[in-house]
Amino acid sequence: TLTVDARHHGSRWSWQGELTWPKGEMYWAPFYLASPGIAASASGSFDGSQVAVEALRIEGASLGQIEGRGSFDLPSKRIGSASFSTGMLDLAQLAPSLIAPLLESVAGPKLAWSGQASLAGEIRDNALESVNLGLHGVGLREAGGHYALEGIEADIPWRSDASTDAR
């Protein structure tokens, strides 16, 4: 179910919307989501040339929680600014539908995932500026039982304009 409310104020539109997708399936190569149970809400404005998303929140059983905001310039087709962050993502739920299809497309082994991850990032002037990846008790186990990694703990920052140290 999609609901959208938009109001005109002078030369600007303000809008807010909600999307609930309680059941069903989606395939968007290479991703397949079965019964995702997704809810999303967003609010922002539009002035004829720029779309501003002031608040975006997406939640789902297989996706976890994602929040973001940003602006997009329509004439130049460029992202002015954007930021996103996740809560703690359950890799046992997320990996089979979003990570494994990417790895399998490059002939990677089938993996069972465990643990949690968090992700945050920023975009400025259509370029990725920063990413922070946190891994918390992550485990990877090859489906055939040949190898496994367990208990991975890491904070991995990346910046476009500076060197960083992972821990």
Reported as a single tens digit per residue, the pLDDT across 82-118 is 999 999 999 998 888 888 888 876 766 788 999 999 9
Structure tokens at 38: 């997704």
Calculate the CA 33 to chain-centre distance: 14
CA distance 47 to 155: 39
Which has the closest alpha carbon to 67: 76, 56, 53? 56
| Per-residue pLDDT, 18 | 97
pLDDT at 13 over 70: yes
CA distance 100 to 112: 9
| Per-residue pLDDT, 70 | 98
Instruction: Provide the 10 A C-beta neighbour count for residue 102.
Output: 12
